[in-house]
Copies of this chain bind each other. A is one copy, B any other.
């Protein structure tokens, strides 16, 4: 079979960009043998043309002049590895206008401006491939689009931020507190110097926006996603939850109910210790998907890192070059945001179980008081433990697990509990998520 040359312009020569260049240069022969495509790096654009990188480029390839990439008509595919949402958005739009297909790992950009970019791609009869934007090396985008295409997908539960999972794993297994676990994850290079986007849940929300849009078929906006981060988590709650049989994970959850109402949320979640996702440790990612035909499928692997992410980027380059991405992209119709507006379920209406910790003064009648508040708001108790540990002001921790209750009611109950004299601090509330394990 004759080889076909595929010329690639790479914009952004940071960590993942270097990994992409490395794979294209070092694995060109094996990729050609497998696919018949000879990948060729035509140019690499970065404002920094002097720092040393883990891959040495052939002479003359590295430039700080984006117009070299844009004006080179032999370049079929533009790979945007710049990151951020401003310059990257302009670059993607210009690549599309210049007639190039785009490959990107930029989840923030797609979550915030994806709908605009997808439209620009359709108008220019080009495609955008973004396997690497979600869960790094795990081929989850193509699994949803292609492998599960015959399913009505009813829910997605994902651990899609390796930094948060690393922090929570260490808080759980090594009894570290949040600040210590965060520092460790920075030492390891999993967390950025400014870790806000990860620990706030923002990065997980970006990925959920992308995954949910292709799974449910709607344009989804970040505003549709309820987001709570892991910054406030105390190792005591991880321990108390553990005693009740739960493990704490930052989950990205997308659900569609029988009336096609979609709910989207990212928050710390207590899940059963023996569930599949509970066993995902350290910086790993995993996504469980439920489809009406397939039941539960789960995908597991490294959600970040130079080479795992580059693996997904180059897979996309191959798929674009074969013409498959264009077909999938052309046929994946996201229904406009306006059509789904009335469908999106706000968090207040969500029915969920909760873990609640209150710090009670050790008086007679305390249980009667807090249990009355919960009952008044129609929040039913499924389990409770009064621990003998002592907190500040001679308080003791009382840990309560609730039956499913409207989140609006739970919020109101928490407010009322905080007003009780017998309660010494703001109650802690963490949702319990019962992932419907497909078993028999």
Q: Interface residues, chain A, CB within 8 Å of chain B?
A: 1, 19, 23, 27, 30-31, 33-37, 131, 137-139, 142-143, 146-152, 188, 217, 276, 279, 281-283, 291-302, 305, 307-308, 310-315, 317-319, 322-324, 327-328, 331-333, 438-440
Give complex CA distance A419, B292 in Å. Answer: 57
Interface centre among A276, A294, A311, A324 (most CB of B within 10 A): A294
Taking CB as reference atom, which chain B residue is nearest A138? B297
**B residues in contact with A438, CB < 8 Å:** 302
| Contact A31:B150 (CB < 8 A) given known A293-B23, A440-B283 | yes
Give complex CA distance A315, B142 in Å. Answer: 11
Interface centre among A293, A298, A308 (most CB of B within 10 A): A293
Taking CB as reference atom, which chain B residue is nearest A136? B294
| CB <8 Å contact, B294 and A311 | yes
**B residues in contact with A19, CB < 8 Å:** 293
| CB <8 Å contact, A146 and B324 | yes
| CB <8 Å contact, B282 and A439 | yes
Tell me the smallest distance from the CB of A301 to a CB of chain B, in Å. Answer: 4
| Contact A31:B149 (CB < 8 A) given known A142-B142, A310-B293, A324-B327 | yes
In the complex, given contacts A276-B279, A297-B299, what are 4 additional A-B residue pairs having Cβ atoms less than 8 angstroms apart?
A: A27-B152, A139-B143, A297-B300, A322-B331
Give complex CA distance A313, B27 in Å. Answer: 32
Q: Can you list 30 contacts pairing A with B, beta carbon distance less than 8 Å?
A: A19-B293, A23-B150, A33-B333, A34-B332, A34-B333, A137-B294, A138-B147, A139-B142, A142-B142, A142-B146, A146-B319, A148-B315, A149-B319, A150-B312, A150-B318, A279-B279, A291-B311, A293-B310, A293-B311, A294-B302, A294-B307, A294-B308, A295-B301, A295-B307, A295-B308, A297-B302, A298-B300, A299-B300, A323-B327, A324-B324
**B residues in contact with A217, CB < 8 Å:** 33-34
**B residues in contact with A188, CB < 8 Å:** 440
Interface centre among A36, A147, A301 (most CB of B within 10 A): A147
| Contact A318:B440 (CB < 8 A) given known A137-B297, A291-B311, A333-B1 | no
Give complex CA distance A305, B438 in Å. Answer: 13
**B residues in contact with A324, CB < 8 Å:** 146, 322, 324, 327-328
| Contact A315:B30 (CB < 8 A) given known A293-B308, A328-B324 | no
Give complex CA distance A137, B149 in Å. Answer: 11
| CB <8 Å contact, A307 and B322 | no
Give complex CA distance A137, B438 in Å. Answer: 13
Give complex CA distance A319, B147 in Å. Answer: 9
| CB <8 Å contact, A296 and B301 | yes
Taking CB as reference atom, which chain B residue is nearest A139? B147
**B residues in contact with A281, CB < 8 Å:** 439
Give complex CA distance A293, B295 in Å. Answer: 30
Tell me the smallest distance from the CB of A309 to a CB of chain B, in Å. Answer: 9
Which single member of B276, B282, B295, B301 contacts A137 (CB below 8 Å)? B295
| CB <8 Å contact, A300 and B300 | yes
| CB <8 Å contact, B147 and A315 | yes
**B residues in contact with A33, CB < 8 Å:** 217, 333
**B residues in contact with A308, CB < 8 Å:** 293-295
Tell me the smallest distance from the CB of A351 to a CB of chain B, in Å. Answer: 26
| CB <8 Å contact, A146 and B333 | no
Give complex CA distance A54, B293 in Å. Answer: 14
Tell me the smallest distance from the CB of A141 to a CB of chain B, in Å. Answer: 9
Give complex CA distance A117, B314 in Å. Answer: 30
Give complex CA distance A148, B35 in Å. Answer: 12
**B residues in contact with A276, CB < 8 Å:** 279, 300
Give complex CA distance A312, B312 in Å. Answer: 22
| Contact A282:B36 (CB < 8 A) given known A297-B138, A301-B295 | no
